[in-house]
Amino acid sequence: MAVHAHPDDESSKGAATLARYADEGHEVMVVSCTGGERGDVLNPRLQGDPEIQRDLPEVRRREMAAAQAILGVQHSWLGFVDSGLPEGDPLPPLPDGCFALEPIEVTAEALVRVIREFRPHVITTYDENGGYPHPDHIMCHVVSVAAFRAAGDESAYPHAGRAWQPLKLYYDRGFSRAKLTAFHNAMTEAGMESPYKEWLEGWGDRPEGRITTRVPCADYFGKREQALLAHATQVDPDGNFFRITKEMQAKVWPTEDFDLTLSYIPLSEGGEDDLFAGLGSADDADAQATSGDLTLVVDDIRERETV
């Protein structure tokens, strides 16, 4: 289960991994916490389109359905309202009723319900900074951690279904300084103009996120690109994301990367190349998920666990 803040996030973060596991026969679920109602139209070709202006939320639902079909995954809307990205100095307050202002008891119960229905062994989400500091991304982190901890507790949210404990929680590490540097160098050496120079210069003192798990998925970079393009309002097809070809990406960085942050399964020595590493058979994992007698062996939650 991949928990994301908005529709389109699933296609820019970990999409090739999702497509690979779905293609291999695993059940894969994307959860969108919000409908992306307050998103801007970022594709200059579609700005001013009357249908989009009339009903952007419906357009984004159709885009999500198209991306879902390309990736071959299941999908669930958690049902909360996009908070928007506050801009200005000073920053304006968040709008009433938005996802980032909902009580954690409400948002966590909603995700617990989906977890208990779908019964995933593995969950992916964002780190405590949200990947980038959008209030919905930060809240997505908070909700994912809270729901992971509560889903297996029979006394927590007893009306949200039968207890089920996911066994591993990962943070998505879609972009790192090392990855951007590798892309920049490859494009420069090939005589191509690199869009990553300014990004790297702006990295500053931001720490590099830990990577414990590198999933080989280069064969699915094409599907990842198609799924992202399906979110036509949210991406510029001539933008920086598509400046480096999928073939060059496959040669330079053929994995998608994750950080195992909460786990009832020990981290494999030397790192992992599979989100299901250490789980054994599906029957064994199911038995652990319902045992009610588990001990966290990886617990690396940092600040921003509560809001």
Residues of each annotated binding site for Zn(2+): 6, 9, 137
HSE of 82 in the Cβ direction (CA atoms, 13 Å)? 17
Query: Three-class SS of residue 272?
Result: strand
Report yes or no: 266 and 278 within 8 Å, Cβ to Cβ. yes
CA dist 132 and 222 (Å) reads 25
Report yes or no: 233 and 46 within 8 Å, Cβ to Cβ. yes
Token output for 160: 């949200």
Specify the residue for token string 């100095």.
89
- 229 phi, psi to nearest 5 deg: -65, -25
Report yes or no: 230 and 66 within 8 Å, Cβ to Cβ. yes
Closest by CA to 160, choosing from 124, 115, 125, 121, is 115
Report yes or no: 13 and 172 within 8 Å, Cβ to Cβ. yes
Provide the residue type at 183 as one letter: F
Judge residue 93's burial from the number of C-beta atoms within 10 Å of its C-beta, 0-12 exposed, 13-18 middle, 19 or more buried.
exposed
Token output for 165: 């404990």
- Which residue ranges are tagged as binding site? 6, 9, 137
- 168 phi, psi to nearest 5 deg: -145, 140
Crossing angle of helices 221-230/15-23, nearest 10°? Answer: 120
